[in-house]
């Protein structure tokens, strides 16, 4: 059985990517970094699998299109 996808918070994303907070949010706006998902009224995080895909190949990463 596959392990469920974890939600990681900003602090973890910053540490794993080496990017600054402002760079992450700029890249989200450009569509070149995974967007956050809402996890509570005041909280958001990233799917760990999306962050891992970005880390593996940041130049080629694009949001998966849903048709």
Say if 64 falls within a structural domain: no
Q: What is the pLDDT of residue 63?
A: 63
Of 5-9, 21-25, 28-32, highest mean pLDDT: 21-25
**Total domains, the chain:** 1
Model confidence at 66, in pLDDT bands (50, 70, 90)?
very low
Average the pLDDT over 3-9 and give the result. Answer: 85
pLDDT at position 39 over 50: yes
Nearest to 36 by CA among 56, 15, 16, 63: 63
Say if 46 falls within a structural domain: yes
Say if 47 falls within a structural domain: yes
Say if 63 falls within a structural domain: no
Residue 43: domain span = 7-56
| pTM of structure | 0.82
């Amino acid at each position: 059985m596959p392990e469920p996808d974890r939600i990681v918070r900003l602090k973890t994303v910053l540490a794993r990517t080496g990017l600054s907070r402002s760079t992450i949010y700029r890249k989200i706006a450009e569509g070149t970094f995974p967007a956050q998902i809402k996890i509570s009224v005041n909280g958001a995080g990233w799917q760990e699998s999306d962050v891992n895909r970005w880390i593996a190949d940041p130049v080629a990463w694009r949001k998966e299109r849903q048709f």
